Amino acid sequence: MGENLLFEHADAVATITLNRPDKLNAFTTELHRELAAALDVVEGDATIRAVLLTGAGRGFCAGQDLAERAAILAAGGKVEGGKALVTWYNPLVRRLRRLEKPVVCAVNGIAAGAGANIALACDIVLAARSASFIQAFCRIGLVPDAGGSYVLPRLVGMARASALSLLGDTLPAEQAAQWGLIWRVVDDDTLMPEAIALVQHLARQPTRALGLIKEALNASCANSLDQQLDLERDLQAKAAATADFREGVAAFIEKRPARFTGR
């Protein structure tokens, strides 16, 4: 895909690896470009039915590459704070949330700033025991972005979201799992085997239904119960019209494993 990102497509799974290990996979404009191109492929290829996102080396992602910002400031320029959000981070979060395929994030090491919140934008987050999460923004005079101020209160409650955001402390992966910020922590040497098994399982499931489940959960936080019940009705109508639903019911009746095709 490019020198900043590895992209592999095998067994209906796309594996995207952020690949700037010397800089803890911090986001440069070029890395953003390559990630957007990878997501174009994922969105356009119906044979890809699940995505695994991870990082190369000892970190997952340290957020925005601050050397890019330092260069602007050193040249007497001004960093337009919202510009990278409009151009890159916000579209990335929206794409991950709206992608009609499940995205597993294997957090292999430190996840800081926007790096932490990109991980949290994925559907299922597994982390290595040595990994950690830092809302690093306040350390450099910024505010949480890439959806952090949206998901944190919803995932861990306002008290913990406030302390994480205002203090910028390091949250170890194990505590992140205990607090419900992420799905699970696993030993470092089992992270990738477990993440691969998980994403391969997802790639064999009824893909359309999984996409509709994402849609329901995305809407849930902002909807009233009545609105959500109506949405469930509409989404269920779509799910029940799929070939995979027919296969799921047939497999149940015939007491055999279902063979879902994603249609």
Angle at 257 between CA 252 and CA 259, to 5 degrees: 105
Does 33 bind ligand T3D (CB under 6 A)? Our answer is no
Angle of helix 207-220 relative to helix 90-98, nearest 10 degrees, comes to 130
Nearer to ligand T3D, 80 or 187 (CB): 80
For the chain, first and last CA: distance in Å? 28
| Residues 99/165/157/192 CA torsion (nearest 10 deg) | 50
Nearer to ligand T3D, 81 or 180 (CB): 81
Look up residue 85 and give its DSSP letter. Answer: I
CB 173, min distance to ligand T3D, A: 14
DSSP 111-138: EETHHHHHHHTSSEEEEETT-EEE-GGG
Does 114 bind ligand T3D (CB under 6 A)? Our answer is yes
Does 65 bind ligand T3D (CB under 6 A)? Our answer is yes
Candidates 10, 46, 67, 143; binder of ligand T3D (CB under 6 A) is: 67
In degrees and rounded to multiples of 5, residue 8 shows phi and psi of: -130, 140
Candidates 110, 127, 128, 177; binder of ligand T3D (CB under 6 A) is: 110
x/- letters, 129..148, toward ligand T3D (CB under 6 A): -----x-xx-xx-x--x---
Does 84 bind ligand T3D (CB under 6 A)? Our answer is yes
**What kind and span of H or E run contains 54?**
strand 50-55
CB 124, min distance to ligand T3D, A: 22
Residues that bind ligand T3D (CB under 6 A): 23-24, 26, 62-67, 69, 79, 81, 84, 110, 112-114, 134, 136-137, 139-140, 142, 145
